[in-house]
Structures are given as C-alpha cells and as structure tokens.
Structure 1
Amino acid sequence: MQVTVMRRWLAHHARIRDALPAVPVVLVAVAATAAGTSGWHAPRATWVAWTALSCVPLVFRSRWPLPVVVLTLAVDLTGMALAPDHAFTPAASLVALYTLATRSDRRTAWITGVTASVAITGVYAATHHEPLLVGTSLLRFDFAIAATALGDAVRSRRRHLAQVEARAESAERTREEEARRRVTEERVRIARELHDVVAHHITLVNAQAGVAHHLMRTDPDRAYEALAHIKDNSRAALDELRATVGLLRQSDDAPGSRAPIPRLADLDALVSGVRSGGLYVSLSRTGVPRPLAPSTELTAYRIIQEALTNTHKHARAAHAEVALEYGVTALRVTITDDGPPHAPKRLGTGHGLIGMRERATAVGGTVTTGPRPEGGFRVVAELPLSLTPGPA
C-alpha cells in the first residue's frame, strides 16, 4: 500500500522523481573517494563536485532526455579530462543514457549510446594513458552499452505491456458492444412477439366478450358459444405468452416449460378464432407447398395475425381474405379486407406495421402495405422459401 502511494505521489512530481537517481550516485561518489588502501579518509571534494554537477541535468531527464544526455556527458568527459588522477565513472551519463533508451526510438537510443560509449572510452584512455580496448577503458565502454541495452529492454517491455493492455481493452469493448447489440435485437424481437400475441388475442377476446354481452339475454346459446371462444382464445394467448417468455429462460430449464412456436399449419386455428370474433375470413393456398425455415414460417404467421388483428380493430370490415401463393423461390402472402377507404385510426399506433417490416427484413423478405383503389386495405409479404428440396 505504501509503495503504491509513493508511486502515485512521484507520478505527480516529475522533477523530484527524475532527481532521485542523483542521490545514490552522489553518495557512491562520496564513499568511493573516502575509501583508500590505508583506510577511510576525507572524501575528495573535486571528484564529488564533478559528480554532483553532472547530476544536475538529471532533474529534467524525462522531459528532455537527449539534451540531458549531451549535458551530463559533457560534464563527465570534462571531469575525466581535468581530474585524470581519479578513476572517474560517468554514472550520471549512464542514468541519462538509460532514460533516453526508455523514452525514445531504438535507432536514436543506440546511435547516442554507441557514440557516448566511444567518447567515454576514448577520453578515459587518453587521459589515463591506457590502451583503448583493454582494462578499465573497455569497462567504461561496457557500462555505457549496458545502460543503453537495459533502457531499450525496459522500453520494449513497456510497449509490449501497453499493446497487450490495449488489445484487452479493445476486446472487452468489442464484447460489450456485441452484447449490447444482441440484447437490443433480442429486446426488439421479444417486444414484437408480445405485441403480436397480446394485440391479436386481446382483440378477439374483447370482440367475443361484446358478442356475449349483447346476446346474453336474447340468445343464451350463442352467448355461451362466444364465452367458449373467449376461453379458447385466452388459453391460446397464455400458451403463446408462455412460449415467448420461454425465450428468456436458460438452456437448462425444463423442456416442458416451452411451447412450440406457431407455424403455417396453425393458420386454420387462427382464422377460426378470428371468425368467432365476428370477422369472416377466407383462407386459400395456391402453388406447390415448399419447405420453409421455421423463422420464415413464424414470420408469415405473425404477419397474417397482425394484419387480421388490425383489420378487426381498425377497419370496420366484414370480410377479409388470406392468400398464400407458393412460387419457385418465394412465398407471397396477401391479406386484404373490404373496409371503408378512410376508416378512422386505420393504422392504429403503427407498431404493428413496423413489426411486420422488421420481421420480413430479418428473414430476407419484404412487406408492402396500403389501401386498395376499390376500398379496403392490402398487406403483401414476399418471403424467401427454403433451399432445402421438398419431397419427391
């Protein structure tokens, strides 16, 4: 905890952080000049002064790493030349070279590092009258190269860690966006299902309840029949609601908790329910039936259901026709009614028509809607057939 607090504090005080390496460098210089073959003695002020002076530019090493290398190197080389009797080690220059390698590109770091190494080795060898490639001269060359190599390794590791972190953040962001997109799509799909189920069945129940209320005293038998239809439609609504809510269940839920989705084979029951509400509906099929994907069958069923529901609620029509035409590559679904041309609130809220188009688009089809010239309303859906070959 204390280390973390210290790092955060230093991150906000860059000058103090940059100057910290100067402290051990000066302390080592003091200790090195105070040690001798005969024991400890007073530190040599000249060497310590040159070391402290060369450390001054380090205060700005993270802001201007290359100029700091030039300044520290100039001070260290001058110290070597003016104090040849000391085994001067350019520690400040080594720190500056390390910093440059961590904060610049590799080319700049190595050109500067090799140049500084040659300069340090050459000046030391010339002032101490030693061979260029042996002894302590070569050791100083190695020190400068090692400082550059260490800084380059640290820079490479930092860049690698930054790339890994960036990839992880990008992957996490992509997963979150994909999850939000899928949630939105699922929410729209379920909302569409609920709208179709509730609007259709509640409309029928409401119509049948009105019929039962009207006939309760004058024709009890027909009123009883209307109540039976209310019971059947209520049960159908509950079954479809249960199936829709079942989409939200987990994969390991009991299979019995899910009801089968509606298909075109269930159209007769759908038409019968609408008829019981007072709207006469005729159903016709032309062409050779071809296999459809389950999603396409559900789309066709829901479009027919929504169109009949709109007709029953808004059109004041007496008759509706549902025609299924199986073509070579597509199923054409047409729903028409004989309502007046300008029925009030003909389209309701518009959510049903939007849902039709969204459903058709989701399976690669289209929906067109509009009034007929002779009166009434028409809904035409073109849905692609399955590519699976039918029975011979």
Structure 2
Amino acid sequence: MSTRWRNHIGDRPQAVDILTTGLLLVFTLGGVILTRAVAAKEPLELWPGVVLSVLACAALLRRRSHPLLVLLVTTGCVITEGFLGYLLTPLLMGPVLVAQYTVSLRPDRRTTWYSALAAAAGIALTGFVVTDADEWIISLVNPAAWVLMAASFGSYVRVRREYAVARAEHAAQERDEEARRRVIQERMRIARELHDVVAHHLALANAQAGTAAHLARTHPDQAISMIEKLPEVTASALRELKATVGLLRQDTDTDELAPAPGLEQLPRLVETCASAGLDVTVITEGRPQALTPGLDLTAYRIVQEALTNVTKHAATRSARVRLDYTPHYLTLTITNETGSRPTTATDSPGRGRGFGLLGMRERALSAGGTFHAGPRPQGGFEVACTLPLPGSEESTP
C-alpha cells in the first residue's frame, strides 16, 4: 500500500469502519444462507439469522469506544443463532471474532483472556446443549477454538505494537543521548582549543612582562627589548583567538578557512618562546612523514601546551623538544631540566594547577595515542606522548 493511500485511509477512520463492517456483513449473511441451505436438519427461518447478523455487524461500529459491550452483544447474537439451529461456522461468527480481536488489542491482558474464555465458554455451552454428542467437535470445540484463536492473534498484534513503540522510544532516547554526548564532546574540544590558544600567549606575555619588570632597574636595555617584543605576542594571541572564534561562528563547512596550525609552525613557536626568555631546542629523529590535519594540530597543541607549562612552572630557561618518527608512530617528548631563574613578581607559590595536562591527555587519547607526564628521575619534568601515524594498522604501541 502506498504512503498516499495509507494517509488517505488514516484520515477517515469512520469511513473505513463502515466499509469493513459492510464487507463483514456480506460474509456473515453468506454464512447464514449457507447454513440454512446445507447444514440445517430442518428448514430454518431466514429472517432471524439476517436480523441477528445485521445487529451484530452494526454493533461493531462502536467496537473502538466500547469493545467489551460490543463483544457482549455479538456473542449474544451468535449464541442466539446457535439456539435457533444455525451451524456456528467462522463465516457466521465473523462479528464476534472481530469484536474479540478488538478487545485483545487493549493493554489489559487479564480482561482480554477473561472475555475470551467467557465468550468461548458461552458458545461451547450452546453447542453442548443444541447438538448431539457425535457433532460436538464441529458444534462445540470448533467455534470455541476460533474465539481463542482471535484472542491469541489480537494479543500477538498488541505485543508487536508495544514492542514497536518501545523500540521507537528507545531509539529516540539513544538519539537524544548521542546528541548530548556530541554536544559535550564539542564543548570539550572548544574548551581545549581556546585554552591552548589563550593560555600559551598569555603565559608568554606574563613571563615577558614579569622578567622585564625584574630587569628594569639592573638591565634596562634588556627590559625595554622584552617590552618591545610584547606586542608581537599579544597580536599573535589576538590573531589565533579571532581565527578560532571565527571558525566556531561558521554555520556551514567551508574550504576558505585558514588552515589549522601544525608542526610546520614549530620554528615560529620556538621564536615566540625565545622572546619570553625560554630557550627551546628541537631534535628530529627518523624520517618525517605527512600528518593528517587533525593529527598535525594535535601534535602542535601538545608541544605548545608543554612549552607553556615550562614557561609558567619550571625553574629553568631551557627546554628540549624531540620528534621521533617511526614507520607507525610519532613520539613527542618535551623535557626540561632542573635549573634556576630569577624570581619575578608574576611567580606565585600558591598558584593552582590548570587544565594543561588534562587537555594534552585528552588530545592524545582522542587521536588513538598514549600520554605520560611526570617528574624525571634525574630532575626536571617530562611530557611524552605517542601518536599513531596515518596508515598504521595498530592503534597503540
């Protein structure tokens, strides 16, 4: 059945009920005529069977609003026809079977089976009274079995409908949960990106300003040089922040957006750290390989955040970045050794821990890699992560 006809029928339930009831009346009257002509031992009056059949079929028009009352009326009509001598065939019992099927669609299972047993018992009792013992199978067992079969079929349809509704609700719930999960993941991704952009440049600017204030009296030339480089750091921060916010405000994907930063910008990052007084050494092992944009961004942000932490927390003026390429993995190692540096006004011994390590760990794990950060046995601090390269069949080393 096409969707158009299905919608057309669904919009006219009363017309559908009248049409189906009319067709059922035709079959029921056919059963009355067939019984009178073939199965009856004695000639039967036709009009009582016709009147009872019309009454039973007319009652079916109210089966949706009063299913139990309609079942009672149709069962009474069938029992009366049985006492009049009509053979209770499935054609003649059509109204009571439809009424029983309608009752079985109700969610009250106890009512369904009590009504089915009552209707089957009444019809069986009729067959027991009006027929001989050798005809009990046809006149007693067979009609009662048809009633129970209608009840069973209605219960099966009801269970299937309940199952379909439950599946639809479960699917809707899963869609809602998936949407919430995606929203949470997107919020975390945005938080990591903004944290890495803002925290890095602000930490460098803070370090430059603090060091310049410390050197202002003893080495004014160096202090002025640092202050002159400070606008470059803040301008770079504003550019990256503007690009990130602009990307978030896009309502559609576009290929005209500026590319995300990657390891190709590592030399510029080293220069920026140098302007803040941090000497960074980059060592590359193995043969560099092309990275996907997402993996390239992940590697860059991890190095950037690790160097930011060195600038903010480490008592040293130097750090070492090692890029180790293997056929399947890229290992990033950022270390700083123990050392001393001048204490500035920006240093705070009670400063709390931020989200840098957490963000780096989330980035590494989301790319299918591993992450480790902690103090080194020989002193200092080390951040190490391993990222799977494109085409690697394994996800962990």
TM-score (norm 1): 0.62
For residues 45-81 of structure 1, what are the alpha-carbon distances to aligned partners after superposition, in whole Å with 9 as ceiling and x for unaligned?
xxxxxxxxxxxxxxxx89xxxxxx9xxx9xx99x999
Deviation at 1:293, TM superposition (A): 2.2
Structure 1 position 99, deviation (Å): 8.3
Deviations 1:286-324, CA, capped at 9 Å, x for gaps:
211112222222121111111111111111211111111
- Alignment partner, residue 278 of structure 1: 277
- Counterpart code for 1:180: R
What residue is the counterpart of 1:122 in the other structure?
128
Structure 2 vs 1, CA of residues 345 and 373 (structure 1 numbering), >3 Å: closer, same or farther?
farther
Query: Match for residue 365 of structure 1?
Result: 369
Q: How does 1:188-199 map to 2 (within 5 A)?
A: 188-199=188-199
Task: Using the TM superposition, give the Cα deviation of residue 270 of structure 1 relative to its aligned residue in structure 2, in angstroms.
Answer: 0.6
Q: Which residue number corresponds to residue 182 of structure 1?
A: 182
Unaligned runs of at least 5 residues, structure 1: 1-36, 38-60, 63-68
Letter in 1 for 2:361: R
Q: Residue in 2 aligned with 1:331? A: 330
Name 2:200's counterpart in structure 1.
200
Instruction: Kindly indicate whether the alpha-carbon contact (under 8 Å) linking 2:120 and 2:147 is maintained by their aligned counterparts in 1.
Output: no
Q: 2:287 & 2:101 partners in 1: Cα distance?
A: 81
Deviation track 1:226-273 (CA, whole Å, cap 9, x = no partner) reads: 3443222223222332343345344526665x4321100000111100
SS in 2 for 1:306: helix
Matches within 5 A, 1:280-299: 280-299=279-298
Q: Which residue of 2 aligns with 1:263?
A: 262
- Measure the CA separation in 1 of the matches of 2:323 and 2:297: 14
| Aligned-CA RMSD value | 5.0
Q: CA deviation at 1:187?
A: 1.7
Percent pairwise identity? 42
SS at match of 2:196: helix
**Count of residues in Structure 1 that have an aligned counterpart in Structure 2:** 311
Q: Which residue of 2 aligns with 1:387?
A: 391
Summarize the Cα distance change of 1:340–1:373 in structure 2 as closer, same or farther, 3 Å threshold: farther
Shift of residue 276 of structure 1? 0.1
Counterpart-to-counterpart distance in 1, 2:303 and 2:98: 79
Give matches, 1:82-93, under 5 Å.
none
Structure 1 SS opposite 2:308: helix
In structure 2, what residue type is equivalent to 1:309? T
Amino acid at match of 2:385: A
Partner of 1:241 in structure 2? 241
Provide closer, same or farther for how the CA distance between residues 101 and 365 of structure 1 changes in structure 2, counting only shifts above 3 A: closer
Aligned residues of 1:208 and 1:226 also touching (Cα < 8 A) = yes
Structure 2, unaligned runs of 5 or more: 1-44, 46-67, 86-92, 341-346, 393-397
SS of the residue corresponding to residue 162 of structure 2 reads helix
On the 8 A contact 1:330/1:383 being kept in 2, the answer is yes
Q: For residue 188 of structure 1, what is the amino acid of its counterpart?
A: M
2:248 match: secondary structure: coil
